């Protein structure tokens, strides 16, 4: 990776090899070591089709019914608690950014999945982002919320009680957008994930493995990500059907001189796992970018419903 000029993927890989032995438990909400400094959202947007996916998230996906439902479920309990003692006020999630894991669980409401295909160059070449994360998610979380709605009393003449209520309507005017992924080497289907054939000069991929993973399996769960892979058509200069489990010599012609630089060695998740067991090092971790505060051109408007204080005697 270093020789290919990929500083970010080098930094993440170096961290993994340097860390104490630790295996990710495949629970995206579990407590894990976090790298929140190496990756930035703006950096990711420079590669392939990632910016298009981001634009789709901000312009369309955050405005669908699923997003509205998530926002309502997260905001309504907050309004109900606050309304018991005071008039419901506007909400800003900025104070919760210090704990990225908790922030993600409490405020995230929509995601767009980024496949490794989205990170490639126009000529389908791998990039620093491909090697660093491959498949990952860009998430939208609630940023700032304006709270409004009619306030009124409900009266029960027979019981001589009154109840102060509010028909809460909210506008999400700002969101936080960020990258999240796990950097791990877990296999869940009994077969170790193929990561390409590597040497010090670069990487080549076998067509057989890609077809098997992308078409038959329907999922490309690389060691660097947990997002779904969709509509992938790889066409690198060197694509071999076989062998997967043996070195590849990519010399052109029948009588080319053997050179070490032409030999590429297969790498799997199990390659990293064996190294971890042998050296008692190799620590999985979560990767976050710092959430970016984004003002929406069109606020997200959601009807939260009626919230009330406890019944009072008249």
Contact 230, 191 (CB under 8 A): no
How far is it, in rounded angstroms, from Cα 94 to Cα 228? 30
Confidence at residue 308, expressed as pLDDT on a 0 to 100 scale: 94
How far is it, in rounded angstroms, from Cα 39 to Cα 132? 9
Confidence at residue 141, expressed as pLDDT on a 0 to 100 scale: 99
What does residue 306 show for φ and ψ, rounded to 5 degrees? Answer: -80, 130
Q: Which two tokens stand for residue 160?
A: 């001589």
Q: How far are the Cα atoms of 64, 122, 160, 278 from residue 59, in angstroms, in the given order?
A: 10, 24, 50, 48
Contact 117, 136 (CB under 8 A): no
3-state secondary structure 24-48: CCCCCCCCCCEEEEEECHHHHCCCC
Full pLDDT tens readout for the chain, 314 residues: 777 789 999 999 999 999 999 999 999 999 999 999 999 999 999 999 999 999 999 999 999 999 999 999 999 999 999 998 887 789 999 999 999 999 999 999 999 999 888 998 887 778 999 889 988 999 999 999 999 999 999 999 999 999 999 999 999 999 999 999 999 998 876 677 777 777 877 776 665 544 443 443 333 333 333 333 333 333 344 444 444 666 666 655 555 555 566 788 888 888 999 999 999 999 999 999 999 999 999 999 999 999 999 999 98
Confidence at residue 116, expressed as pLDDT on a 0 to 100 scale: 83
CA 293 to chain centre: 17
How far is it, in rounded angstroms, from Cα 92 to Cα 98? 14
Confidence at residue 193, expressed as pLDDT on a 0 to 100 scale: 74
Confidence at residue 147, expressed as pLDDT on a 0 to 100 scale: 96
Hey, where are the domains in the chain? 7-188+279-313
Confidence at residue 207, expressed as pLDDT on a 0 to 100 scale: 57
* Beta-bridge mates of residue 305: 168
Confidence at residue 123, expressed as pLDDT on a 0 to 100 scale: 79
Confidence at residue 212, expressed as pLDDT on a 0 to 100 scale: 46
How far is it, in rounded angstroms, from Cα 28 to Cα 105? 10
Q: Which two tokens stand for residue 235?
A: 């066409």
What does residue 241 show for φ and ψ, rounded to 5 degrees? Answer: -75, -35
Contact 2, 254 (CB under 8 A): no
């Amino acid at each position: 990776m270093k020789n290919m000029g990929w500083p970010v993927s080098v930094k993440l890989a170096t961290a993994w090899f340097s860390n104490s032995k630790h295996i990710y438990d495949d629970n995206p909400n579990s407590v894990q070591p976090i790298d929140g400094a190496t990756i930035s959202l703006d950096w990711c947007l420079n590669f392939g089709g990632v910016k298009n996916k981001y634009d789709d998230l901000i312009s369309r996906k955050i405005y669908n019914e699923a997003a509205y439902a998530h926002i309502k479920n997260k905001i309504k309990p907050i309004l109900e608690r606050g309304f018991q003692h005071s008039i419901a006020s506007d909400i800003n999630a900025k104070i919760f950014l210090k704990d990225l894991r908790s922030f993600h669980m409490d405020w995230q409401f929509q995601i767009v999945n980024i496949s490794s295909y989205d990170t490639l160059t126009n000529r389908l070449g791998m990039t620093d982002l491909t090697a660093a994360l491959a498949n990952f998610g860009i998430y939208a979380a609630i940023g700032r919320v304006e709270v409004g709605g009619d306030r009124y009393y409900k009266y029960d003449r027979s019981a001589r009680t009154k109840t102060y209520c509010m028909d809460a309507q909210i506008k999400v005017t700002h969101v936080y957008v960020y990258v999240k992924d796990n950097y791990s080497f877990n296999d869940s289907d009994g077969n170790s994930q193929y990561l390409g054939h590597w040497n010090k000069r670069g990487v080549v991929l076998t067509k057989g493995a890609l077809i098997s993973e992308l078409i038959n399996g329907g999922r490309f769960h690389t060691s660097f990500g947990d997002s779904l892979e969709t509509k992938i058509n790889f066409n690198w200069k060197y694509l071999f059907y076989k062998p997967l489990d043996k070195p590849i010599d990519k010399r052109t012609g029948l009588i080319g001189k053997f050179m070490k630089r032409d030999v590429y060695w297969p790498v799997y998740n199990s390659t990293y796992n064996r190294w971890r067991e042998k050296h008692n090092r190799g620590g999985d971790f979560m990767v976050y970018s710092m959430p970016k505060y984004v003002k929406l051109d069109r606020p997200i408007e959601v009807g939260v419903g009626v919230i009330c204080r406890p019944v009072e005697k008249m």
